[in-house]
Amino acid sequence: MDDFFVNTRPGEEVSFGKSDFTLPILYFRDDFFVLYYTANANKIREILPTDNLHPICFPNRRAIIAIGAYNYINTSIGPYGEVFSSIPCVYGKKPFPFTGLIPAIMESKYPGFGVLVQHLPVTKITARDAGRGVWGYTKFVADMEFLVKPESIECKLSEEDKHIFTIKTIKRGFFTDDRKPIITYSVKDNQLIKTIIQQKGVKRISLRTDGCYIEFGNHPMADSIQNLDISKAPFMSAYYPERYAILPRGEIIESNIQTFEGYKGMDRDAKHIINYSTS
């Protein structure tokens, strides 16, 4: 019988900032949902930290951007919330124009596929310190309020009194088992870090996106996403009713690249609120 978390403990004891934790970080239960939009490919290329990263594009040369949220209910560093804006990319050889969507379909099975993490706010200082200290993830502390219903899930993201955005997805679509790892690209000390996050879960995917949306507020994170000229509506949604994950250290795959630190925010405690409702 498989044991997904076998050999992950005792692990490596690590300290960064105000936080002590054990690697790899283990994820036992969460609500994970994501919306997929298109964006201006040229504007995305302008922010990429290395020319060896190539955005994944539709035949009309619009790139893909993924925006979503995790409500981490049970992890080895405790419960917390996390929201992400990420850019699916291929590292190394640029995909051919007419086969640009193949990496998006194959995901981690395609050589060089991964997502560049543009923003990664979290509700927990430990998660921020771990993310920036180990991987260079663009984390900052923000407030999150999740509303979980049988039909939908949403997250209101803010920084104290500043609304960043509210994201909502409808729980629909076909079910599929997902054991493909999430591969992330991030920048730490001008080095490109590739991290392979093993996961095991059940995924629902839908090309019907009515009722799914993002409402942006007035905040540097919201502005930087909108500056990429993202589409008004998503073209696909995904939701995981069940998922487990293992976050290990990454590996350096390129040095002497541009910095990519993202918005840093303030050093403070944040709100992580979860409401369950059938209304």
The model's pLDDT over 161-204, given as tens digits with 9 standing for 90+, comes to 999 999 999 999 999 999 999 999 999 999 999 999 999 999 99
Q: What was the pLDDT predicted at 61?
A: 84
Domain presence at residue 17: no
Domain presence at residue 67: yes
Q: What was the pLDDT predicted at 103?
A: 79
Domain total in the chain: 1
Domain presence at residue 12: no
Q: What was the pLDDT predicted at 94?
A: 79
* 122 contacts 82 by C-beta, under 8 angstroms: yes
Q: What was the pLDDT predicted at 119?
A: 98
Mean pLDDT of 244-263: 97
Q: How many CB atoms lie within 10 A of CB 74?
A: 12
Confidence (pTM): 0.95
Q: Is the pLDDT of residue 111 over 90?
A: no
Look over the chain and give the mean of its residue pLDDT values, rounded to a whole number. 94
Q: What was the pLDDT predicted at 279?
A: 55
Mean pLDDT of 144-150: 97
Q: How far apart are CA 264 and CA 112, in angstroms?
A: 28
Domain presence at residue 199: yes
Token pair for 34: 């994501």
Give the domain CATH number at 66: 2.40.400.10
Band the pLDDT of 1: cuts 50, 70, 90.
Answer: very low
Q: How many CB atoms lie within 10 A of CB 37?
A: 22
Q: Is the pLDDT of residue 98 over 60?
A: no
Domain presence at residue 162: yes
Token pair for 139: 């984390």
Strands (DSSP E) found in 134-271: 143-148, 152-159, 162-170, 174-178, 182-188, 191-206, 213-216, 236-247, 251-255
Which domain range does residue 271 map to? 26-276
